[in-house]
């Protein structure tokens, strides 16, 4: 159960109408090379000492279809689950972080904004807002005991954090109650203390106490063993700023003015009936989402309370739009994105990169290409600098045409204590983890 990869990569701006048009090999990598990366990992002598002790798919079992799919280990009787927290080094103590408390929420925000995921060049760092964190960590049925912090005993300073939230995730034809584990963060000065493994064990213990035995998580590194590996793609909305801060590069034989022209978008959306999602749309959107996600091999099992929480618009957190047929008033299409800015490190002119992340999109009547172009238009109108998307679900069908470029970032998806014998293609995954 680990943290995720930043999307703040540095894709090159390209001189043609399909950025990254010569990068098909990168897409092939994202689709087909879990085994190759595993071999590279093994050949470099890398060992995942902690993960080799955990009930997760192991590299040595890749391709062994005789192993049963499903839970790797059976549930333990609740009376036998460890009741006491795992031991921390003496100077530290466990705390449960009350995200309803403004003070605690501010502490968590400060820890993450100074110490969470950065890109490889240390130019950008995720900057989750307090509103975003409360949205992400308090879904229906959440357990406050899964919001776990580590403090220094003497100063009470919060120096580490990890979380879980409950979710129902369908894997093939089985609906499994899982924990989605996220926000594993250790203060930079304490990275040598080996806190991460004990934090993972502690969140696992607390999940087990609720009689939940599986989990889903993501990481930007290859661990034992991804169920799929996805690639980040980026669509410039403010190319001048992106180039000036080092997120993008000016393409060969390209001027700034030509680049700005290349990425220019219309001022208004083109789809009739395209509008903001409202509360009264929740039942119709739920039906649309559930029908759409049913075609993927792994996807969340949303009900109306989930849709209300995750998809009803919240300012600077999540935006959702739908298409309502002007004649019949039927809700036919849906698109959404969430807001995750990054701090721009060491830049006096631009402190923040405002990024939209593609979330769940459903096309039944409006072509997905047109629907997502409208999403880009509204994101641009709200002053986003870049629109990011993973090549999950049907996203690959619009990425090149809408001038997304492939980034350097890969995101690997994992299941804890649940085996899938055949890795999924990104297009077979219907799950977006924040």
Active site residue ranges:
434
Beta bridge partners of 429: 298
- In our burial notation (b when 16+ CB lie closer than 10 A, e otherwise), range 387-412 reads bbbbbbbbbbbbbbebbbbbbbbbbb
Left, alpha or beta for 34 (phi > 0: left; psi -120 to 50: alpha)? Answer: alpha
Give the list of residues 6+ apart from residue 64 with CB closer than 8 angstroms, or none.
Answer: 421
Using CA atoms, how far residue 250 sits from 11, 253, 309, 356, 407, in Å, is 10, 8, 40, 21, 15
- DSSP secondary structure letters along 123-153: -EEE---HHHHHHHH--TT--GGGEEEEEET
**Longest pairwise C-alpha distance within the chain:** 68
CA distance 302 to 140: 11
How far is it, in rounded angstroms, from Cα 99 to Cα 104? Answer: 6
Vertex 406 angle, CA 405 and 411, to 5°:
140
Strand 174-186 vs strand 214-219: parallel, antiparallel, or unpaired? parallel
Tokens of 37: 């990366």
3-state secondary structure of 186: strand
Q: Which residue has the tokens 């006096």?
A: 348
Q: Does the CA dihedral 188-192-197-198 come out positive or negative?
A: negative
Distance (Å, whole) CA 258 – CA 244: 15
From start to end of 115-245, where are the E strands? 124-126, 147-152, 158-171, 174-186, 214-219, 228-236
């Amino acid at each position: 159960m680990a943290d995720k990869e930043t999307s703040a990569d540095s894709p090159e701006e390209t001189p043609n109408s399909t950025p990254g048009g010569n990068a098909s090999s990168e897409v092939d990598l994202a689709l087909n090379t879990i085994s190759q990366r595993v071999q590279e990992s093994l050949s470099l002598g890398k060992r995942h000492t902690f993960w080799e002790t955990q009930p997760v798919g192991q590299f040595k079992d890749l391709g062994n279809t005789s192993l049963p799919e499903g839970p790797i280990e059976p549930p333990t009787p609740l009376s036998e689950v460890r009741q006491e927290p795992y031991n921390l080094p003496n100077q530290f103590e466990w705390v449960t972080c009350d995200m309803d408390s403004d003070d605690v929420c501010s502490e968590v925000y400060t820890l993450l904004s100074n110490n969470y995921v950065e890109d490889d060049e240390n130019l950008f760092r995720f900057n989750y807002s307090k509103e975003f964190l409360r949205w992400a960590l308090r879904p229906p049925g959440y357990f406050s005991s899964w919001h776990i912090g580590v403090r220094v005993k003497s100063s009470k300073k919060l120096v580490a954090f990890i979380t879980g939230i409950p979710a129902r995730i369908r894997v093939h034809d089985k609906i499994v109650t899982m924990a989605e584990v996220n926000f594993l963060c250790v203060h930079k000065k304490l990275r040598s203390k080996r806190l991460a493994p004990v934090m993972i064990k502690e969140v696992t213990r607390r999940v087990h106490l609720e009689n939940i035995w599986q989990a889903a998580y993501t990481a930007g590194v290859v661990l034992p063993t991804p169920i799929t590996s996805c690639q980040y793609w980026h669509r410039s909305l403010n190319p001048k700023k992106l180039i000036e801060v080092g997120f993008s590069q000016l393409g060969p034989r390209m001027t700034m003015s030509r680049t700005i022209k290349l990425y220019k978008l219309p001022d208004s959306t083109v789809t009739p009936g395209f509008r903001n999602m409202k509360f009264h749309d929740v039942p119709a959107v739920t039906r649309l989402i559930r029908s759409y996600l049913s075609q993927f091999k792994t996807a969340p099992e949303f009900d109306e309370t989930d849709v209300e929480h995750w998809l009803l618009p919240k300012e600077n957190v999540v935006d959702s739009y739908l298409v309502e047929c002007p004649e019949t008033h039927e809700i036919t299409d849906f698109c959404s994105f969430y807001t995750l800015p990054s701090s721009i490190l060491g830049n006096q002119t631009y402190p923040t990169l405002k990024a939209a992340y593609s979330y769940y999109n459903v096309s039944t009547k409006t072509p997905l290409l047109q629907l997502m172009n409208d999403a880009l238009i509204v994101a641009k109108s709200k002053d986003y600098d870049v629109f990011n998307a993973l090549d999950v679900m049907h996203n690959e069908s619009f990425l090149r045409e809408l001038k997304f470029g492939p980034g350097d970032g890969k995101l690997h998806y994992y299941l804890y204590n649940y085996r899938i014998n055949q890795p999924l293609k990104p297009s077979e995954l219907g799950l977006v983890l924040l």
